Amino acid sequence: MFRPNFSGGPLKILTRWLIFLTIFKVTCAMKDPDVEGEALLDFLNVLNDSNHQIRDWDIYLVSPCFSWSHVTCRNGHVISLALASVGFSGTLAPSITKLKYLVSLELQNNNLSGSLPDYISNLTYLQYLNLADNNFNGSIPAKWGQLSSLKHLDLSSNGLTGSIPMQLFSVPMFNFSHTHLHCGSGFDQPCVSKSENPASTQKSKLAKFVRFASCGAFALLCLGAIFMYRYHQMDRRKNEVFVDVSGEDESKISFGQLRRFSWRELQLATKNFSESNVIGQGGFGKVYKGVLSDNTKVAVKRLSDYNNPGGEAAFEREVQLISVAVHRNLLRLIGFCATSTERILVYPFMENLSVAYRLRDLKPGEKGLDWPTRKRVAFGTAHGLEYLHEQCNPKIIHRDLKAANILLDEEFEAVLGDFGLAKLVDTRMTHFTTQVRGTMGHIAPEYLSTGKSSEKTDVFGYGITLLELVTGQRAIDLSRIEEDEDVLLIDHVKKLLRENRLEDIVDRNLESYDPKEVETILQVALLCTQGFPEDRPTMSEVVKMLQGVGLANRWADWKQLEETRNQEFSLMTHQFVWGEESTLDQEAIQLSRAR
């Protein structure tokens, strides 16, 4: 049994108390604290970890939710296993079914073999299943059609044969390519879902990140803040809510899924926050590329002025939001550092930087974004926003959606980042917030004029981002004045569409593209950027329209409405001009009579 050691100074005693409380919370939250741990050990044994890559799975370490690597938990239950590219050579054990709350299982790029077991169908909460790049053989069990929650299924690059259960073709994103499965001739459905682009059929080189974090982490941070604040208040030290621990052992304490870094650790990782390591800069500070002592690459966001209410609010908000927002298209937070003078957030380093960088800031010899990748970015961003708006409780508004805030991992998967301007929205209260923040050209008109934002504010920003993806241009470009073109990208695109100049809209750096797919993206973009928020679609509707569902009717209505508004505007202009001239004529006549 774990017994806390309460020897040492007040700060160490407090730290150990927090560790004890974390263990106690996790242990108490689990209905059967040993069942899932035992299931994982049995599962690992059958996977055959001959290279001993997983060394910290130990039944004596209280719970897999406390310290086991590659495991993510929520409410004391295992919900995610990220075991890609580990070198397993076994197969799947029945003990996996004891993880009743499993949402994500990633085992791609291993050497697993054998047949696909039908008992996977018992994982009723499973949403993401990736077994690509293994040596599985045989057919897909018919029972897998019972996986009603499944949203992403990748079985590509395996020796599978036979037919595919028809129910699996209804999964939003699936990939059966590079197998011997019958999904070509004789079937209406392709081997790859229409919502994916061809680039996604390539073999996975590295594991994709699953972005989950413990909801209880933030509560524990608050508890720690209260204890520490009281202690330092007695010590007559003010303005220090979080205290950095300088000792090497204490700096690696994890609260839930978040790691606490020491200042010295991040100072070494970024070469003393060298300007040569700066990879981005925003309203709340700079982002540095860093390398931890274990050679892990990270992005270190250092807030420039934490004493500023906005700056500290951004810190607390990002820690809170990313601890509760869990989605593969959202950036996960690794950890943080907090001292009396610093507030720092640590994220995974995105090898391919941002969409904005790949569109406009490439260095010679660097790879740009081809059309399939741009389309995948559009889908990934839409899925991330759909999750924030419609699956989080409370829902989350990002409020600064743009190409610069969409990051790209090693496989060019879109990852929505920078929640510094996001806002939690309680569904029991109004949707509106009252502080205008964001980037000009991406801000919805109602937000700019009234200071009130909603989910539809993000939908507008998403529409502008789609235009950036298609054109490669900025939302506002003053250089277009010299060409007698509209400064706003949205007006510029509308004009070219009216003139049927699609080829002039598309980014000149694109060597090839599908005109019909470009038209679909443009139509969705313009539906998202309508002037009145109530006219804009929800993000779930956007996801469907990107797949072609319901787009034709909404586009026809938009064109009719746009034509009516243009006619009304022309009539108003005509009346204004001619009415003004008529008044001048009457004044001239009166003057001539007076003479």
Write the DSSP assignment of 437-486 as a string of letters: -S-TTTS-HHHHHH--B-HHHHHHHHHHHHHHHHH---SB-GGGGTTT--
E strand or H helix at 162 = strand 159-163
What b/e sequence results for 457-469 when a residue is b if at least 16 CB atoms lie within 10 Å of its CB, and e otherwise?
Answer: bbbbbbbbbbbbb
What b/e sequence results for 170-179 when a residue is b if at least 16 CB atoms lie within 10 Å of its CB, and e otherwise?
Answer: ebbbbbbbbb
**Spatial distance between the Cα atoms of 490 and 488, rounded to a whole number of angstroms:** 5
**Spatial distance between the Cα atoms of 126 and 137, rounded to a whole number of angstroms:** 22
Q: At what angle do helices 515-528 and 539-546 cross, to 10 degrees?
A: 160
Write the DSSP assignment of 503-519 as a string of letters: HHHS-TT-S---HHHHH
**Spatial distance between the Cα atoms of 195 and 463, rounded to a whole number of angstroms:** 18
Q: Would you say 100 is a known binding-site residue?
A: no
CB 345 within 8 A of CB 301: yes
**Burial class of residue 104, CB neighbours in 10 A (0-12, 13-18, 19+):** buried
What b/e sequence results for 278-306 when a residue is b if at least 16 CB atoms lie within 10 Å of its CB, and e otherwise?
Answer: ebbebebbbbbbbebeeeeebbbbbbeeb
- Active site annotation includes 477: no
Phi, psi angle pair for 570, to nearest 5°: -65, -40
Select which of 49, 154, 244, 400 is catalytic.
400
E strand or H helix at 22 = helix 10-29
Lookup: tokens for 427: 């569904």
Q: Which residues are catalytic?
A: 400
